[in-house]
């Protein structure tokens, strides 16, 4: 006999007037043994979000606040040795953060209560490494409390980021001991600060001081959340919300909220994900092929996290590199408009305020989005409809209206189904294709050339079951000039620079390309096991205070350097080490230009950049550009 096993809660619903009974699977379903491909696809089409996941999806715009000891050291990842006294945001004003984010249209804020450096923004009992030991408010301050109160005052939802990776905790690596400490931190945060709507766990992990890799107990962490804040969604290493796979604000055009990709807390998650070739960065996480090969599927929707600046933490030198309005709007279309939720980071500065440039940009963004979507030009677009595959729905437009955006949504409380659709406009007495797309999900936006059709029709081309169309809209989005500020490279004057030595180079990418002031060209070493290095003669002596590394801006970022050593020399023979354990923090997820500042200045005419490890342990390395910072006499 075939065994039918359906995990999760199963709902039976009678659809208005029709006798057909539909069975829905909340959050997950395991396919019965021997299920046919058609049965699997049909079951996948009936997986629906939990109430919490649905509430979260409706927020559309959520904000990250990266704030902590790194704000004061200007680093992206602290190593845990920082002195807590350095934390002193004398003008801290969480109400200013919340007001600015609200003006941008954001509905929830998520604070980095603890980042990888282990410094806690609340006076925890679990470690001395917290605001209680800081110079701020004589150790009596509590950022989490102040933000909570500001959120309550303005009606903003509140979430916490608690980094499992802790480079300060001495018990990190002693897995049971650290897991206990981490759960205690969770209990403090989730038990003492009122309602929390999202808990964000990053996946970064390493060995502790004992040399052992920390093994996290995700199930136990989840149980703490479920007992204290059952309504909160658990993101990234949690099993409610999935990381979209990059930190550039790019969703997938084909984005399935129903996927066989399993969060780590599920049985056999790693084995199954490997068997199916699934990981957060994979292009395809939910096609028919993947579903048919799988034994189970989950409602595991994606979240697009990206910073308004190149880095996650505030760095004054990035003040002029706040993303343009055009770029933020593109990100909106590629996240919210691709069936995802946007999590935009806006980092408070050393004063404890969002900087003026970011506040202005947030307001521009909020105004642009609300003006664009204020007036739906389709008549009857808000009426819900049921469409069978092959059916279409036609809408009249208000006469003479110019449009360039089409919006469509599925009622995801009845599953995600659409695999292909076409949008056509009635122009000059004929139907012309305006746009086409694959998945829809909660919300799909498609852009096309400006036009004034008399009517628009939506054609449901291909799908997994009947479509529950929840709304359709046509709008005009004002065109904006597209710039990509954060790709600006710090260009040094490199006149007279020469390559002094290099371990290897491939003909298409010679070493000299790393110092030609052109980030589009790059040096690539060969794939030998030996040490890869580049030595440069700068032609004259400088007082070197740091250096810059621009990774290669290509899609897979292969060859990007993670760990390095940096040496200088006055004669090109005797070398002194300035940075022995250098780390380009977070470069794998966020491959932006890196600026490293030394603790001292070094008189030098030559430098040597030695690669200790590539981001994925690949045997070759690439360098888009390497430059130096120097002090004037
Ligand atoms: C990453 C972290 O390592 C970054 O520092 C940042 O917090 C980002 C949101 O997640 O993986």
Of 260, 235, 13, the residue nearest 108 (C-alpha): 235
Regarding the beta carbon of 589 and ligand 1, being less than 6 Å apart is answered: yes
**Distance in angstroms (rounded) separating the CA atoms of residues 354 and 585:** 23
Spell 182-207 as b/e; 16+ CB within 10 A means b.
bbebbebbbeebeebbbbbbbebeee
Q: What is the pLDDT of residue 483?
A: 55
Q: How far is CA 260 from CA 73, 340, 441, in A?
A: 41, 17, 16
70-93 average pLDDT score: 96
Confidence of residue 208 (pLDDT cuts 50, 70, 90): confident
Q: How far is CA 125 from CA 91, 132, 182, 186, in A?
A: 26, 10, 11, 12
DSSP code, position 338: B
Regarding the beta carbon of 586 and ligand 1, being less than 6 Å apart is answered: yes
**Distance in angstroms (rounded) separating the CA atoms of residues 102 and 80:** 33
Contacts of 277 (CB under 8 A, 6+ apart): none
User: 589 CA to middle of ligand 1, Å?
Assistant: 8
Q: What is the pLDDT of residue 370?
A: 98
Structure tokens at 141: 């301050």
Which tops the pLDDT comparison, 352 or 595? Answer: 352
Q: What is the pLDDT of residue 214?
A: 94
Q: What is the pLDDT of residue 424?
A: 98
pLDDT, tens digit (0-9, with 9 covering 90-100), for 26-80: 999 999 999 999 999 999 999 999 999 999 999 999 999 999 999 999 899 999 9
Nearest protein Cα to ligand 1, atom 2: 586
314-323 average pLDDT score: 92
Give the pairing type, strands 242-243 and 302-307. Answer: parallel
User: 479 CA to middle of ligand 1, Å?
Assistant: 32
pLDDT, tens digit (0-9, with 9 covering 90-100), for 435-446: 999 999 999 999
Q: 267-276, 547-556, 566-575, 603-612: lowest mean pLDDT where?
A: 547-556
Give the pairing type, strands 455-463 and 418-427. Answer: antiparallel
Confidence of residue 7 (pLDDT cuts 50, 70, 90): very low
Q: What is the pLDDT of residue 393?
A: 98
pLDDT at 21 > cutoff 80: no
Q: 238-242, 359-363, 382-386, 494-498: lowest mean pLDDT where?
A: 494-498
- Index of the ligand 1 atom closest to the CA of residue 312: 6
**Distance in angstroms (rounded) separating the CA atoms of residues 397 and 381:** 10
Regarding the beta carbon of 305 and ligand 1, being less than 6 Å apart is answered: yes
User: 293 CA to middle of ligand 1, Å?
Assistant: 32
State the DSSP H helix or E strand holding residue 365, giving kind and residue range, or none if neither.
helix 356-372
- 197 touches 159 (CB < 8 A): yes
pLDDT at 575 > cutoff 50: yes
pLDDT at 182 > cutoff 90: yes
- 463 touches 43 (CB < 8 A): no
Contacts of 226 (CB under 8 A, 6+ apart): none
Residue to substitute in 79, 307, 586 for testing ligand 1 pocket (most ligand atoms within 8 angstroms of CB): 586
Structure tokens at 445: 């936006």
Structure tokens at 488: 């600006």
Q: Which domains does the chain have, with CATH numbers?
A: 54-250+303-372 (3.20.20.80), 378-475 (2.60.120.260), 489-630 (2.60.120.260)
Q: How far is CA 337 from CA 63, 352, 406, 448, in A?
A: 17, 32, 10, 14
Structure tokens at 205: 């992990």
User: 202 CA to middle of ligand 1, Å?
Assistant: 7
Residue matched to tokens 């804040």: 229
Q: CA dihedral defined by 40, 41, 46, 48, rounded to 10 degrees?
A: 90
Contacts of 532 (CB under 8 A, 6+ apart): 503, 504, 525, 610, 611, 620, 621
**Distance in angstroms (rounded) separating the CA atoms of residues 105 and 367:** 8
pLDDT at 455 > cutoff 60: yes
pLDDT at 486 > cutoff 90: no
Q: What is the pLDDT of residue 96?
A: 98
**Distance in angstroms (rounded) separating the CA atoms of residues 545 and 550:** 17
Contacts of 140 (CB under 8 A, 6+ apart): 132
User: 586 CA to middle of ligand 1, Å?
Assistant: 7
pLDDT, tens digit (0-9, with 9 covering 90-100), for 497-539: 999 999 999 999 999 999 998 888 999 999 988 899 999 999 9
Q: 325-334, 452-461, 556-565: lowest mean pLDDT where?
A: 556-565
pLDDT, tens digit (0-9, with 9 covering 90-100), for 602-615: 999 999 999 999 99
Residue to substitute in 64, 69, 161, 204 for testing ligand 1 pocket (most ligand atoms within 8 angstroms of CB): 204
Q: What's the angle, vertex CA 144, arms to CA 344 and CA 250, rounded to 5?
A: 15
Q: What is the pLDDT of residue 563?
A: 95
Q: How far is CA 558 from CA 117, 269, 452, 562, in A?
A: 27, 26, 45, 11
351-364 average pLDDT score: 97
Q: What is the pLDDT of residue 491?
A: 45
Q: What is the pLDDT of residue 4?
A: 34
Residue matched to tokens 């409380």: 413
pLDDT at 13 > cutoff 80: no
Confidence of residue 251 (pLDDT cuts 50, 70, 90): very high
DSSP code, position 411: -
User: 592 CA to middle of ligand 1, Å?
Assistant: 13
- Rounded to an integer, what is the distance from CA 328 to the centroid of its chain? 14
Q: How many residues does the chain have?
A: 633
Regarding the beta carbon of 312 and ligand 1, being less than 6 Å apart is answered: yes
- The pTM of this model reads 0.88
Q: What is the pLDDT of residue 20?
A: 59
Regarding the beta carbon of 204 and ligand 1, being less than 6 Å apart is answered: yes
End-to-end CA distance of the chain: 85
Regarding the beta carbon of 202 and ligand 1, being less than 6 Å apart is answered: yes
Contacts of 589 (CB under 8 A, 6+ apart): 246, 247
Q: What is the pLDDT of residue 482?
A: 62
Q: CA dihedral defined by 157, 239, 311, 103, rounded to 10 degrees?
A: -20
Of 478, 470, 269, the residue nearest 369 (C-alpha): 478
Q: At what angle do helices 356-372 and 94-103 cross, to 10 degrees?
A: 30
- 225 touches 197 (CB < 8 A): no
Residue matched to tokens 């969770």: 186
pLDDT at 485 > cutoff 60: no
Residue matched to tokens 């260009």: 491
In percent, the amount of the chain with pLDDT more than 90 equals: 84
342-359 average pLDDT score: 98
């Amino acid at each position: 006999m075939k065994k039918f096993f359906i995990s999760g809660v199963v709902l039976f619903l009678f659809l208005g007037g029709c006798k057909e009974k539909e069975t829905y699977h909340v959050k997950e379903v395991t396919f019965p043994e021997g299920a046919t491909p058609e049965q699997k696809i049909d079951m996948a089409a009936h997986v629906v979000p939990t109430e919490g996941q649905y509430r979260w999806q409706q927020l559309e715009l959520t904000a990250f606040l990266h704030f902590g000891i790194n704000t004061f050291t200007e680093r992206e990842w602290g190593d845990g040795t920082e002195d807590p006294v350095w934390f002193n945001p004398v003008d801290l004003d969480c109400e200013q953060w919340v007001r600015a984010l609200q003006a941008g249209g954001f509905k929830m804020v998520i604070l980095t209560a603890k980042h990888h450096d282990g410094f806690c923004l609340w006076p925890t009992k679990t470690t001395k490494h917290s605001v209680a030991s800081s110079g701020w408010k004589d150790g009596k301050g509590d950022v989490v409390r102040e933000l909570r109160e500001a959120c309550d005052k303005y009606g903003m939802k509140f979430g916490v980021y608690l980094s499992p990776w802790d480079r300060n905790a001495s018990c990190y690596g002693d897995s049971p001991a650290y897991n206990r400490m981490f759960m205690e931190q969770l209990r403090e945060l989730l038990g003492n600060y009122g309602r929390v709507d999202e808990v964000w766990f990053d996946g970064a992990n390493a060995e502790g001081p004992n040399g052992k890799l920390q093994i996290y107990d995700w199930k136990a962490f989840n149980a703490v959340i479920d007992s204290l804040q059952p309504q909160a969604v658990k993101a990234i290493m949690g099993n409610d919300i999935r990381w979209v796979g990059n930190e550039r604000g790019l969703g997938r055009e084909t984005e399935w909220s129903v996927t066989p990709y399993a969060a780590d807390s599920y049985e056999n998650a790693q084995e199954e994900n490997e068997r199916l070739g699934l990981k957060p960065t994979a292009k395809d996480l939910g096609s028919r092929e993947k579903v048919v090969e799988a034994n189970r599927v989950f409602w595991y929707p994606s979240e697009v996290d990206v910073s308004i600046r190149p880095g996650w933490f505030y760095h004054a030198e990035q003040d002029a590199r706040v993303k343009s309005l055009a770029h933020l709007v593109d990100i909106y279309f590629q996240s919210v408009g691709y069936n995802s939720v946007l999590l935009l980071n806006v980092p408070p500065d050393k004063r404890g305020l969002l900087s003026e440039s970011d506040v202005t940009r947030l307001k521009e963004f909020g105004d642009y989005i609300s003006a664009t979507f204020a007036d739906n030009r389709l008549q009857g677009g808000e009426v819900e409809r049921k469409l069978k595959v092959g059916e279409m729905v036609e809408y009249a437009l208000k006469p003479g209206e110019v449009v360039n955006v089409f919006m469509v949504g599925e009622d995801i409380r009845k599953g995600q189904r659409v695999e292909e659709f076409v949008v056509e406009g009635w122009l000059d007495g004929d139907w012309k294709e305006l746009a086409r797309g694959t998945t829809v999900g909660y919300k799909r936006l498609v852009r096309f050339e400006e036009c004034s059709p008399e009517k628009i029709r939506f054609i449901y081309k291909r799908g997994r079951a009947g479509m529950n169309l929840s709304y359709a809209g046509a709008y005009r989005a004002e065109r904006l000039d597209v710039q990509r500020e954060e790709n600006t490279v710090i260009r040094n004057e490199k006149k007279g620079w020469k390559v002094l030595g290099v371990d290897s180079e491939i003909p298409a990418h010679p070493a000299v390309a790393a110092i030609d002031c052109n980030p589009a060209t790059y040096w690539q070493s060969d794939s030998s096991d030996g040490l890869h290095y580049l030595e440069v003669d700068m032609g004259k002596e400088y007082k070197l205070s740091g250096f810059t590394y621009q990774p290669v801006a290509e899609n897979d970022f292969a060859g990007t350097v993670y760990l390095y050593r940096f040496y200088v020399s006055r004669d090109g023979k005797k070398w002194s080490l300035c940075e022995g354990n250098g780390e380009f923090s977070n470069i794998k997820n966020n491959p932006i230009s890196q600026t490293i500042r030394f603790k001292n200045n070094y008189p030098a005419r030559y430098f040597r950049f030695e690669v200790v490890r590539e981001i994925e342990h690949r045997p070759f390395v690439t360098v888009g550009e390497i430059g130096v910072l120097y002090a004037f006499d």
